[in-house]
């Protein structure tokens, strides 16, 4: 009998094939990758404005009712939108300073036990955003404040609103091998590389107080490759709730990663990845105790030291 700590036979090739059938442009991974990668190791998803954003085979449809529990702090009522809407105040300030393309950047998956670490980049163009019809999409909020069905419902609208957007991933093995800081930089680099060259930002608003966008003093983390772009970076705690571009990046990254995890759930049923998305949950913990870690778990995380057989 095949242990749950290993993928189903043939699941890697099938899953990768499903992820490759995208209706938007998907850029190739800028770094060499081994053959036989899983869907969690897929590199980037890109969405130029005005194109459909069908990730996997779900076609952008909201999941069935009850398909996933709401995020902690998310509204329980899918019709309600919590909190005041984010605005373009900080983006406009950067435009007035002479920056033409301003991007919001946010990460998802940092606290997960399994699956990729993902970074979303949502690019705003000053000339386009001055048009009244380009006002902030209704219902846009920090992805953590929205239940899954609401995020899915606004995903295409948010993507169309951006001048360009991309989501880059670092897979679990890279998170273990490089550490979280370098994995964040790598996922961000992949997202920037996936953007059309003319849409790469010259300024970035970054959620939090740690800058993982600016070039590092240790280029060997990225095989000595030069940075894709070197934007001015403004860090801001709570930017995903206050800045529209960062909220957009948050939603685009969260929905993209959630779809990856729902695709993986079929290969690892006991782990309930379609609901918990690789984050800690009672079902996830029970499955780890009963079956061990899968190929998509982060083995260097502290939780791995407390499994029964360690």
Domains of the chain from N-terminus onward: 12-61+72-268 (3.30.420.10)
| DSSP H or E stretch at residue 187 | helix 180-194
The pLDDT value recorded for residue 157 is 95
| Buried-exposed string 172-185: b where 16+ CB fall within 10 A, e elsewhere | bbbbbebebebbbb
Q: What is the DSSP letter of 307?
A: S
The pLDDT value recorded for residue 133 is 54
| Buried-exposed string 265-277: b where 16+ CB fall within 10 A, e elsewhere | bebbeebbbbbbb
Distances (CA, A) of 135 to 19, 98, 175, 241: 32, 21, 37, 16
What pairs with residue 47 in β-bridges? 165
* Segment 145-163, tens digit of pLDDT: 999 999 999 999 999 999 9
* CA separation for the pair 307, 285 (Å, rounded): 9
Q: What is the DSSP letter of 84?
A: P
The pLDDT value recorded for residue 49 is 37
Distance between start and end Cα atoms, the chain: 23
Residues of the chain with pLDDT under 70: 1-82, 130-134, 218-225, 308-310
The pLDDT value recorded for residue 305 is 73
Q: Which residues are CB-neighbours of 52 under 8 A, at least 6 positions away?
A: 23, 24, 60, 156
The pLDDT value recorded for residue 223 is 52
Phi, psi of 114 (to 5 degrees): -140, 155
């Amino acid at each position: 009998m095949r242990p749950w700590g290993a993928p189903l036979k043939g699941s890697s090739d099938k899953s990768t094939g499903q992820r490759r059938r995208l209706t938007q442009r998907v850029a190739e991974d800028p770094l060499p990758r081994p053959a036989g990668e899983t869907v969690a190791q897929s590199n980037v998803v890109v969405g130029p404005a005005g194109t459909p954003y069908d990730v996997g085979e779900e076609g952008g449809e909201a999941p069935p009712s009850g398909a996933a529990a709401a995020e902690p702090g998310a509204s329980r009522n899918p019709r309600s939108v919590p909190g005041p809407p984010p605005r373009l105040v900080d983006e406009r300030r950067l435009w007035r300073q002479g920056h033409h393309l301003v991007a919001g950047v946010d990460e998802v998956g940092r606290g997960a036990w399994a699956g990729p670490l993902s970074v979303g980049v949502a690019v705003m163009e000053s000339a386009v955003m001055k048009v009244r019809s380009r006002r902030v999409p209704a219902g846009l909020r920090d992805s953590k404040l929205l239940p899954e069905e609401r995020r899915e419902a606004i995903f295409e609208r948010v993507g169309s609103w951006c001048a360009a957007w991309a989501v880059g991933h670092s897979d679990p093995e890279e998170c273990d091998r490089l550490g979280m800081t370098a994995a964040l930089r790598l996922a961000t680099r992949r997202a920037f590389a996936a953007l059309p060259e003319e849409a790469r930002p010259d300024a970035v608003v970054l959620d939090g107080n740690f800058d993982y966008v600016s070039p590092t003093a240790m280029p060997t983390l990225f095989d000595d490759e030069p940075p894709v772009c070197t934007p001015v970076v403004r860090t801001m705690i709570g930017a995903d709730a206050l800045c529209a571009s960062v909220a957009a990046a948050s939603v685009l990254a969260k929905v993209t990663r959630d779809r990856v995890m729902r695709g993986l759930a079929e290969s690892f049923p006991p782990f309930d990845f379609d609901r918990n998305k690789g984050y800690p949950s009672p079902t996830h913990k029970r499955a780890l105790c009963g079956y061990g870690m899968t190929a998509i778990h982060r083995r260097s995380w502290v939780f791995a030291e407390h499994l029964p057989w360690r």
